[in-house]
């Protein structure tokens, strides 16, 4: 059972605070996967 004394230290924040957001950090956009790679990995066309 969860500890009843534990309170949310980050009200209004999504998640539990165990992972930091990586916004504004240096990186190489060319290393990102493409939409085609996502389609290939997850089955292609989206049905609506």
DSSP secondary structure code for residue 31 in this structure: G
pLDDT of residue 18: 64
Residue 37 has pLDDT above 70, yes or no: yes
Return d(Cα 40, Cα 45) in angstroms, integer: 9
pLDDT of residue 8: 60
pLDDT of residue 44: 73
Residue 47 has pLDDT above 60, yes or no: yes
What pLDDT, in 10s, does the model give residues 22-36? 677 777 888 889 999
What pLDDT, in 10s, does the model give residues 4-21? 565 666 666 666 666 666
- 17 in Cβ contact with 10 (< 8 Å): yes
Half-sphere exposure in the Cβ direction for 2 (13 Å, CA): 5
Please state the pTM of the whole predicted model.
0.36
For the chain, first and last CA: distance in Å? 41
């Amino acid at each position: 059972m969860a500890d009843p004394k534990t309170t949310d230290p980050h009200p209004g924040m999504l998640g539990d605070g165990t992972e930091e957001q990586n916004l504004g950090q240096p990186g190489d956009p060319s290393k990102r996967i493409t939409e085609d790679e996502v389609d290939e990995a997850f089955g292609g066309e989206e049905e609506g």
